[in-house]
Amino acid sequence: MAHSVAIRGSFFHLVDNPWTLGSEEAAAARLISDGLMLIDNGIITALAPYDTLCDKLSDYRLEHIKDKLIVPGFIDGHIHFPQVRVMGAYGSQLLDWLQNSIFPEELKYRDRNYAQTAATHFFEALLGAGTTTCQAFTTSSPVSTEVFFEEARSRGMRVIAGLTGIDKFAPEEYCISPEDFYIQSKQLIEQYHQRDRCLYAITPRFAVGCSEAMMEACRRLKEEFPDCWINTHISENPSEIRQAKQEFPDCSDYTAVHEKHGLLGPKFTAGHGVWLSNDEFGRFSKAGAAVCFCPLSNLFLGSGLFRLGKAMDPDQPVRVCLGTDVGAGNAFSMIRVMEEAYKVGLCNNTTLDGSINPREQDLEESNRNKLSAYRAFYLATLGGAKALYLDDTIGNFEVGKEADFVALDLKAGQHALAWHQELTCDQGMPTTVQQAAELLFGLLACGDDRNVAETWVFGKRVYQCEARA
Ligand code: GUN
Ligand code: ZN
């Protein structure tokens, strides 16, 4: 039987890239302040002002979401499912942190029960934060990958994930041989890729943990399954980069490791990219590959400040998504990620006073580092979808896309936001795109998952904040 639902409410979404519009960036967004969205079997079939569509209502179950701003579901481009229990581990940078806190925990995910308990918590945390799609790492055990996909399927979510390839640098019992990785990945691709809303990413963890043979296994998989995604880490931390250079002495830089093995291209995403050179940014751009900016993690592990302004160079634009990178990221909330991305942008804005410019960025690059509400919400929704080559199905409210969205409470009991809203709008809710952007900036600066009132996946409500349920 057809499942038809109509949502009445206030809708805000991005339809264009704000970086390309200069001072006209508001033109990248749309606000339909009293709108009606028609959803049939999970797909958006119409969105327009309520008055112009309400004659269709007899065929739909109506849900009126009052006093909330409805935005597309957030897209987390880089997250680790098996790190949910070890978020906030004290005291070290990447390589020590992996050895001391991460590999021992991820090893436990060979146990299906252990993995299942974590999966329930992981997906509840995602949906409670308003994240409806993620690209996730699992572990080197197929058990964890199966549990991840089954849990996502049971919730109807669009996800990308894959078995982690790692055959060195980690404890022996955590490593997987290239041959086993190839066989298990192939089985998992056949079982889950394009099943319901699941998509498969071939996942070489990072160059330090992958031998030449492991990278060759990834190449073989990509050649046999060209439709699959590739997910990895790149140039996150100076010690890691030094070690990667030693492991792949014939590669001129980190990006060359992926070029050499035929992986850099469309549907390739690398987390971090904090220390990518100008030349590497140029090669990412040409290849259509994406970088995932993970500010919570980059700050938590002291990895550095990502050059968003360089990635957004109009002469060689790189696809960029945002990610929490839980558990190096210390929150599930993409609102918090936007907040930290804004702060990193300002710290990176070294030419603001015209004097210090350690990274030799020009003034335009420097200005492109700075997030506005339009830019931030673009990256967390449509921009993230484009980076992941998913913008044909998610990222905004265009007709034909999948109905994943979040109802944001613009104040949620937080005084700073309530005052902000009062000062910005007489009516309480925004009536112009500019007002909505002003409120959304306040929300990203002062808000978090408390502001997520409801989360909907494929036309179904899957989370409602307890205070409002
Ligand atoms: N590089 C390789 N593995 C990891 C990981 O689990 N987290 C982060 N932040 N970087 C990595
Ligand atoms: Zn990561």
78 lines ligand 1 (CB under 6 A): no
147 lines ligand 1 (CB under 6 A): no
For residue 328, give the ligand 1 atom closest to its CA. 9
Torsional class of 170: left (φ above 0), alpha (ψ -120 to 50), beta (otherwise): beta
- Cα 98 to ligand 1 centre (Å): 7
Helices (H), 288-431: 295-300, 308-311, 334-347, 363-368, 373-380, 382-387, 415-424
325 lines ligand 1 (CB under 6 A): yes
Helices (H), 155-209: 178-192
- Cα dist. 89→129, 328, 446 in Å? 21, 8, 24
Residue written as token pair 């041959």: 179
Are the beta carbons of 109 and 142 closer than 8 angstroms?
A: no
Q: Which residues pair with 80 in a beta bridge?
A: 137
Are the beta carbons of 138 and 144 closer than 8 angstroms?
A: yes
3-class SS at 402? strand
- Cα 80 to ligand 2 centre (Å): 6
Are the beta carbons of 335 and 451 closer than 8 angstroms?
A: yes
pLDDT at 423: 74
Are the beta carbons of 185 and 176 closer than 8 angstroms?
A: no
Torsional class of 166: left (φ above 0), alpha (ψ -120 to 50), beta (otherwise): beta
- Cα 94 to ligand 1 centre (Å): 7
pLDDT at 468: 55
pLDDT at 251: 98
Contacts of 191 (CB under 8 A, 6+ apart): 146, 149
How, if at all, do strands 74-80 and 61-72 pair?
Answer: unpaired
For residue 294, give the ligand 1 atom closest to its CA. 9
- Cα dist. 349→124, 294, 308 in Å? 36, 18, 10
401 lines ligand 1 (CB under 6 A): no
pLDDT at 381: 99
Are the beta carbons of 276 and 234 closer than 8 angstroms?
A: yes
Per-residue pLDDT of the chain (469 residues; tens, 9 = 90+): 457 999 999 999 999 999 999 999 999 999 999 999 999 999 999 999 999 999 999 999 999 999 999 999 999 999 999 999 999 999 899 999 999 999 999 999 999 999 999 999 999 999 999 999 999 999 999 999 999 999 999 999 999 999 999 999 999 999 999 999 999 999 999 999 999 999 999 999 999 999 999 999 999 999 999 999 999 999 999 999 999 999 999 999 999 999 999 999 999 999 999 999 999 999 999 999 999 999 999 999 999 999 999 999 999 999 999 999 999 999 999 999 999 999 999 988 765 555 555 556 678 888 899 999 999 999 999 999 999 999 999 999 999 999 999 999 998 877 677 777 777 776 679 999 999 999 999 999 999 999 999 999 999 999 999 865 5
> What global pTM score does this model have?
0.97
Q: Compute the residue count for the chain.
A: 469
- Strand boundaries in 260-305, DSSP class E: 268-272, 290-293
- Cα dist. 404→74, 382, 455 in Å? 9, 12, 8
Are the beta carbons of 66 and 9 closer than 8 angstroms?
A: yes
Nearest ligand to the CA atom of 324: 2
Cα–Cα distance for residue pair 290/386, rounded to 1 Å = 9
Cα–Cα distance for residue pair 122/81, rounded to 1 Å = 7
Residue written as token pair 């603001």: 352
287's enclosing H/E stretch is helix 278-287
- Single-letter residue type at 361: Q
- Please give, one letter per residue, the 3-state secondary structure of 322-359: ECCCCCCCCCCCHHHHHHHHHHHHHHCCCCCCCCCCCC
Cα–Cα distance for residue pair 126/143, rounded to 1 Å = 21
98 lines ligand 1 (CB under 6 A): yes
